[in-house]
Structure formats: structure tokens, C-alpha cells
Structure 1
Amino acid sequence: MTESLSYDSYDSYDVTGSGPVLLLVPGGAGHPMGLGPLTERLAQRFTVVTYDPLGLAHGRLGLPVPDQRPADWSEGAHRALEAVLPPDEQAYVFGTSSGGIAVLDLLARHPRRLAHVVAHEPPCVTVLPDGRERREELIGQLDGPGRPPAEGADATPMGVFLAHVLRPFSAHLPSLTAPEHRLTLAVGADSRGQLLYNTGELLADRFGSRLMEFPGGHIGTLDHPVEFADVLAETLLSSARTSS
């Protein structure tokens, strides 16, 4: 059974499956489009809570959106967990791209409720030694030709991402207490040598966390959903066995 809930005009989430709670935070502007096959596979083993931080899949697409901060998403994700998670239990968490930045912030702010976090290619590139230049490079690659006109920027998930998420999120500097053994930095096997792979390596080293390759590249959740889901599930469940 799938349940869809909303707190207010922004925080929305869907719940499906059964088993331990797994919170998913999508990338881009947080719209979970294309994650159906991944979610369906994970729902065979987890109660999957798919967070939609701006409510874009719940009726708000096309409405005005303010500039976003990782803290906006992480606090909303925490509210979702508090609504779903039994009082004495902890949740698994997965975030990809901008969602990966949000789950790093969630781990920093609310570690007590989290069993293990997987952050997949979070684009917080300012952690690199030449981070300022790499951030400008990233923005230039994504925010180039084809960007929607300013007056229609909130009409599509990509428009919302470019107008309100990309710049503030890519400037974020994660703050965690090292070593953080409840964190896995996930990088795409097809991303080796690329900017976000290097960012993941640096973050894993800085936080004393595990670095693990996942199927595909930056959008491995969409290109290889079944394989990606199986690797994610084993990563999370093995972390529970290791800590027990």
C-alpha cells in the first residue's frame, strides 16, 4: 500500500512497502520523478519514505519557490521521519545529488534518529582545494544553454533546481563530527575521475567514512534502478549487522 501525506504547502512525502524505515531524498529540486523502479525494488525490503521537499509532485509545481538551503530540506526530512518512525527506532537514509547534501545536513543535525546514511555524489564541491573554481565549472555545465526564461523558472523541476537549488546547495560545507561511521559516501562506478567522484573521495576521507562505488554514474538511480537498489539495500543492512 502506498500512502501520500503532506504537512503544509511544502513538506510532502509518500510511504510504500514494509520493513525498516528508509528515507529517500531525491536530487535536483527534490521531485521524485523517475524513481519509481528504484522505490518499488526497495519497498520489497523497507518501508520507503520518499521525501518531496518542495511538494513538486504533490501539486506545487509551477507555483513560486524561494531560494533553498540544505537546512530547509534536512529539517523537513526530520519532520517526515518523526511522523513515520516509531519512537524508539532509527531510520536508514539515502540521498542523491542535492538530496545527498541534504542528508549530510540531516546527519549533522539529527544523528540520534539515524541508523546509517548513504550520500550519493553530493555536489558540495567547495570542499575541494580548488572548490571555488570547481563550483563555477559545475554551475556553468548545468546552467548553460537551454535554461528556462526567468519568468518560467518555477514551471519545471529543472527550472526550480537551476533557479533556487543549484547555487546555494553547491556552496554548502558539510559539518560532521569525524569519524562518522554511520555514513557511506557513494560514488558512481562510471564517474571515476570526474568532479563529483573526487568530491566523494575527499568527504569520505575527511569524515573517516566508507567510500563505495554504486552502479552507473551520477544518475545511476535512474539508469540502473534494480542494481542500484540492491547495492543500496545491502550497504544499509550490512551496516546494521556490523554495528550489532
Structure 2
Amino acid sequence: MTAKTVNKLAVPGATLHYEVTGSGPVLLLIAGGFTDGGVFDSIVGQLAAEYTVVTYDPRGNSRSPYEGAPVDEKVSTAAADALALIDHVAGKEPAYVFGSSSGAITGLELITRFPDRVRMLVAHEPPAVELLPDAETARAFFEDVRETYAEDGVGAALALFAGGLGLDDEEPAPEDLRPEYREVVDRMQANAALFFEHKLLPYTRYVPDLGALQTVAHKVVPAAGAESANHLPGRPIEVIADTIGWPVVTFPGGHLGYASHPVPFATLLGKLLYAEVNVPEVG
């Protein structure tokens, strides 16, 4: 079994919990929503055979506490956190990056602002719904989730959120989870209130710089789940893919395919990273 080290990294306003497994080129996995680095536990071992895999809890989530009171998230701050981890672990070398959901939005901002620090970004279902032709409807849904949280609490907001995103079909029943994974799920769900209050709207209102993404199109892999591409989180990547001139890569499973289909998911991700197809840069 590949050894794992558990570490802390101080960044402005927070302390990041991160874990490093394996050896080789650095691969940073960015979790989304109210999850943390543990959401990738099922794929880390396979990927660590070829890469130095770095997972972390985004600021405010689980084991990455804020220095002070929580504040509304800035995507630029999340990207700076990811950059700090790359600089700390990879040194001067650029890193491979995989981001899912709001983690993919962090990845898009990261490669937009610091393109030289990213070797390849696989952006899996970033919920950048402002790019959609029906953006107003999508925006209203997320605002409704936020209002439901404020008026009726976490449980009601989670039900509405999961149903609207198609996640209710992906989540296994609690009795079907292994005890160790149940513990991880409970830890992540404890972040839900923070997510609904301070992170949901900033991420879903994020508008990617499509012009900047075109200039780094040779390093961006748009991706979506086979079972979730038509759901709300999976749709915006089609717009990004059309803009940069690449087809969407279909991963096994749905929005959480890395957890539900870990072996084929990690296998496909590994193949993409290994191929690292570089076409001439635009411009």
C-alpha cells in the first residue's frame, strides 16, 4: 500500500489540511461543495501508483478551519489556496489538476490566473450556470436553495439541492455504506450549513473567462458524467467545450462518479493525464 502523509499548510485566513500519497508528477484533486479531500479516497490509491496525489479540504470545510469567522467565499481565494498547495508540494514544476463541481470552478480560475502552474486541468462538471441559455432559471433555483436553508434549515436545503441536481439518485442508503465511509460522509455533511450560507451562490454565480480559457485550451479537458451530463451541474461544461474547441470527455457514473465507479473513473483519468495531448497554443 502506498504511504500517505498528512499535513497542514497556513494560507491567508485559514489553515489547509492536505494529504500526499504516491510519487511522480503532482496531481492535485480539488473537492467541491461541502465535501473534503476524503471524497477522493476511493481513487487515490490507483492514481498514486503513477502520481504524487494531493488531496485537501477546501478552506472552512472539515479539517481546514478559518482563522476567524466565516465569510462569503471568493473563487479567487480558492484558486490562491490551490496555487499555494501546488507551489508547496511541486515547487517550480506545474501540476496536473482534477476538479469536480465547485472544485472544477476553482480549477478554471486557477488555470485562468496562473496558467504556467497547471500542466493539465480536467474540469468535471463545473456548475457555471451563468453560461447557460436558461441561466435565469438556474440562478433562481440556487437562490431558492439558499432561501430554503435560511428559512427551513440544512435538511430541507439538502433535499432540494440534491433533487434539483440529480444527486438523489446517486447517493447510496446509509446502511449500504462501509462504517469508515459513513464516518467520512458524516464529516462532510457537517459542512453543509457553511456551504449553503457562504459558498453556494458565489460559486454558481461565477462566470469563467472564456477568452482566457481559449488561450489555454490545449491544457483543458472538459468532462462530465455519463449519467449526469444532462443535469444542471453537467450542462455548463458543454458551453466551455464548444468555446475551446474540444469535445466533452464522458466519465463513468454521475456527478460523484469518482466515488460510485472508482476503478473505471481513475483508469480514464490516468489515461487522460498520460496522453497529455498538447496542440499548438491559440494566439
TM range (shorter): 0.7 to 0.9
Aligned counterpart, 1:71: 76
Aligned counterpart, 2:178: none
Any conservation in 2 of the 1:189–1:217 contact (CA below 8 Å)? yes
Structure 2 unaligned blocks of 5 or more: 156-187
- Is residue 2:6 matched to residue 1:4? yes
- Is residue 2:168 matched to residue 1:134? no
TM-score in terms of structure 2 length = 0.76
SS in 2 for 1:5: strand
Over the aligned positions, Cα root-mean-square deviation in angstroms equals: 2.5
Aligned counterpart, 2:234: 197
Aligned counterpart, 1:232: 269
- Is residue 2:106 matched to residue 1:102? yes
Aligned counterpart, 1:217: 254
Q: 1:28-39 residue pairs with structure 2 within 5 A? A: 28-39=33-44
- Is residue 2:184 matched to residue 1:178? no
Q: How many residues align?
A: 237
TM-score in terms of structure 1 length = 0.87
**What is the alpha-carbon distance in structure 2 between the residues aligned to residue 95 and residue 222 of structure 1?**
14
Deviations 1:75-101 (A, max 9, x none): 0110110011132x2210000001010
**What is the alpha-carbon distance in structure 1 between the residues aligned to residue 60 and residue 148 of structure 2?**
26
Give 1:196's aligned amino acid. P
Any conservation in 2 of the 1:32–1:57 contact (CA below 8 Å)? no
The match for 1:148 among 131, 154, 163 is: 154
Q: Report which stretch shifted further, 203-212 or 230-239.
A: 203-212
**What is the alpha-carbon distance in structure 2 between the residues aligned to residue 58 and residue 118 of structure 1?**
25
Identity, % of aligned positions: 34
Shift of 1:187: 0.5
Seen in structure 2, the aligned counterparts of structure 1 residues 138 and 235 have a Cα distance that, compared at 3 Å, is: farther
- Is residue 2:127 matched to residue 1:93? no
**What is the alpha-carbon distance in structure 2 between the residues aligned to residue 16 and residue 143 of structure 1?**
40
**What is the alpha-carbon distance in structure 2 between the residues aligned to residue 55 and residue 162 of structure 1?**
12
Shift of 1:226: 1.7
Runs of 4+ in 1 over 3 A off after TM superposition: 138-147, 240-243
Aligned counterpart, 2:46: 41
Any conservation in 2 of the 1:91–1:113 contact (CA below 8 Å)? yes
Shift of 1:64: 4.1
Deviations 1:210-239 (A, max 9, x none): 410101111112111221111111111111
The match for 2:30 among 25, 28, 33 is: 25
SS in 2 for 1:19: coil
Q: Report which stretch shifted further, 207-216 or 229-238.
A: 207-216
Structure 1 unaligned blocks of 5 or more: none
Any conservation in 1 of the 2:28–2:53 contact (CA below 8 Å)? yes
